[in-house]
Amino acid sequence: MAPNRLLPGEAIGAPAALGPAAHLPALLLGGALLAGRLRSRLAPALPLAGIVLALAATGLAAARLMEGQPPAARASLGAGFWLFLASAGLLALEQARAAGLRPAWAGLAALLAGVALWRWGLLDALSLAVEYRARQEAVQAALWRHLALSAAALGLALAVALPLGWWGFRSARAEAAIGAALSFVQVVPSLALFGLLIPLLSLLLGAVPALRAAGLQAIGPAPALIAVAAYLALPLWRALLGGLGAADPAAVEAARAMGMTERRITAEIRLPLGLPVFAGGLRVAAVQAIGLVALGGLIGAGGLGALVFEGMAQFAADLILLGALPIILLALLADAALRGLETRLAEGGR
């Protein structure tokens, strides 16, 4: 509990805040461990129920503690809650794997339960919900902008990596040169690259005024997209090389012996067999894009990163979380979706 959004306030332990309900989530985790030893398929549901119960009880406790407090007062989630959330979430994922279930379904169930509690108003007294209500339109706009920037950076990286991947696959000398250049980008600190692009783009816009007339600016989304795409090019390029080389050499030689052209071999043999590798590289690049685009908030690109840096400038922890938590959720969702695609393609290729 804190008198306002900036001060750290006073920590309140779970037994004092929640009363007897503080012990129920722990009992559910113990039940999950026992059910896991018995190999019950219900084991993943117990830690998920513990997460939902802890979140609901904490929201109700915050509402009770906020009664009679001034409007500036805040009730924030403490470190103990986040530790419980992390441990219970990891246990749920592990139990789902042990039970032969898809771990992504456990994460999706927890996310939907959290959204339901939010919609029902059980979390309205928490400082995170207060910050969201004060900036609801800005948060939604930042979310969509973050997604658009991530997709645009990924598309730009694909446009660069695909021809470079084919060139590197066809020429060992080109592969060495391209690999060295893309690897060099990886060792440059991200903030340094973002900052370096600003004066470089300023020089380019000064030399070519038509670019400025077309809407290109040295500060904003342009340097952010270029920098992020530069980092994404390497995993995409490597995935393309690995996918094109994944075909059985005997099958390729047999196709050549049948008179198939290199274009047909690539379209009918190399690409279908390399799709799981391509999907794996796309998954890595998509998760990287969602994370790296957050740095664009430092140079005026907007997105969820702008909320994070605004919160850091104001020393407002809940405002930082308001930008950081959606980034984490987006990255996890992208990873789960593309991992599922990768698995399906691998199974279909067998």
Tell me the pLDDT tens digit for each residue of 184-233.
Answer: 999 988 888 888 888 888 888 888 888 777 777 888 888 999 999 999 99
Q: Which of 159, 295, 162, 156 is nearest to 226 (CA)?
A: 156
**For residue 348, what pLDDT band results from cuts at 50, 70 and 90?**
low
Q: Whole-model pTM?
A: 0.87
Quote the pLDDT of residue 177: 93
Paired with 107 in beta bridges are none
Convert the pLDDT of each residue in 294-304 to its tens digit.
999 888 888 99
Q: Where are the domains of the chain?
A: 14-130, 136-348
Structure tokens at 168: 């590197």
Confidence band for 327, pLDDT divided at 50, 70 and 90: very high
Instruction: State the Cα angle at 322 between 319 and 327, rounded to 5°.
Output: 135
Query: Residue 350 — pLDDT band, cuts 50, 70, 90?
Result: low
What is residue 230's predicted lDDT score, i.e. its pLDDT? 94
Residue at token pair 């300023």? 202
> What's the pLDDT tens digit per position in 253-296?
887 788 787 778 887 788 888 888 899 999 999 999 999 999 99
CATH architecture of 136-348: Orthogonal Bundle (1.10)
Q: CA dist 118 to 71, 78, 259, 314, Å? A: 20, 18, 63, 25
CB contact at 8 A, 92 and 48? yes
> When comparing pLDDT for 340 and 181, which is higher?
181
pLDDT score for 30: 83
